[in-house]
Structure 1
Amino acid sequence: MIDNRTAPYAALVLRVTLGLLFLAHAGLKIFVFTPTGTAGFFASLGLPGWLAYVTILWELAGAVALILGIWPRLASLAMIPVLLGSIFTVHGAAGFFFNNPNGGWEFPAFWIVGLIVLALIGDGAKALRPTPLRK
């Protein structure tokens, strides 16, 4: 049974937490690895370097949308390809455990599950622009 009094706040906590994770990962690419360094890493994987800049912007936009609650259901689904890309290009080959070199794929996979759960349960409390539901 779902507690309708607290469920919107659970969705809020999940939404903000997922957004903060994307904000942290974008910040890592900007402030630690630098955008140029991230582009070089992408190129070392056989990806076009410019895709690093798109990824950083995508992570920032998704983070803001999730944290503020701007179309959170759509934003959560839109962020899944970023994580799938990380699994298929970096983390998948490293194995399951995230403490392996290059990290494993279980953390991005669990992150995807969190995004799917948010898309299913709804926007949560304090969303600035809730997604209209069809009844």
Structure 2
Amino acid sequence: MTILRLALGLSFLLHGLQKMQMGLDKVGGFFASLGLPSFLAYPVGYIELIGGALLILGLFSRYIAAAFGVVMVGAIFTAKLKGGYVGGMELEVLLLAMSAYFAISGQSGYGLSSVLSGDKKDPVTL
């Protein structure tokens, strides 16, 4: 679980960082070209960047994963669906599945949340 959480967090962190480096106004322009409100680039960018960092640390994993799931559903249905599965939405479906696992199970492996909760019996649950 820890390895899966770290991989998911790193993927979103790097995508968020890429959006920040590109400029959220440009990302907003891309969103507008898909028929989405351009302001959505800001929450999506920050969810990916900050959420990725929090997931790597193992903090608020269930909530961050749920937010990632919403972002992935949006990406699939607005940008990736027409490309088919392979070469289109394959990555997004995998990220959605990983996010759904953490959001539903509430388990995230070893991370700061287990340390901060002081739960000595079960360091795996949030």
Q: Same fold (TM over 0.5)?
A: yes
Q: Deviations over 1:44-84 (max 9, x none)?
A: 11111111111101111210221011121222122100011
Asked whether the equivalents of residues 10 and 56 of structure 2 are also in contact (C-alpha less than 8 Å), the reply is yes
Distance across 1 between alignment mates of 2:24 and 2:106: 34
How far 1:106 moved relative to its partner?
1.6
TM-score under structure 1 length normalisation: 0.77
> Would you say how many aligned residue pairs link Structure 1 and Structure 2?
117
Q: What SS does structure 1 have at the residue aligned with 2:35?
A: coil
How far 1:107 moved relative to its partner?
1.2
Higher helix share: 2
Moved more, 45-54 or 114-123: 114-123
Asked whether the equivalents of residues 19 and 67 of structure 1 are also in contact (C-alpha less than 8 Å), the reply is yes
1:50 to 39, 61, 81: 39
How far 1:121 moved relative to its partner?
6.7
How far 1:117 moved relative to its partner?
2.7
Asked whether the equivalents of residues 76 and 116 of structure 1 are also in contact (C-alpha less than 8 Å), the reply is yes
Q: Does 1:64 align with 2:53?
A: yes
Distance across 2 between alignment mates of 1:121 and 1:34: 33
Structure 1 segments of 4+ aligned residues over 6 angstroms from their partners: none
Q: Between the two proteins, what is the percent identity of the paired residues?
A: 35
Asked whether the equivalents of residues 29 and 35 of structure 1 are also in contact (C-alpha less than 8 Å), the reply is yes
Asked whether the equivalents of residues 14 and 49 of structure 2 are also in contact (C-alpha less than 8 Å), the reply is no
2:79 to 85, 90, 110: 90
Equivalent in the alignment of 2:64? 75
Asked whether the equivalents of residues 61 and 106 of structure 2 are also in contact (C-alpha less than 8 Å), the reply is no
Q: Does 1:38 align with 2:30?
A: no
Equivalent in the alignment of 1:111? 95
Q: Does 1:20 align with 2:10?
A: yes
Asked whether the equivalents of residues 83 and 112 of structure 1 are also in contact (C-alpha less than 8 Å), the reply is yes
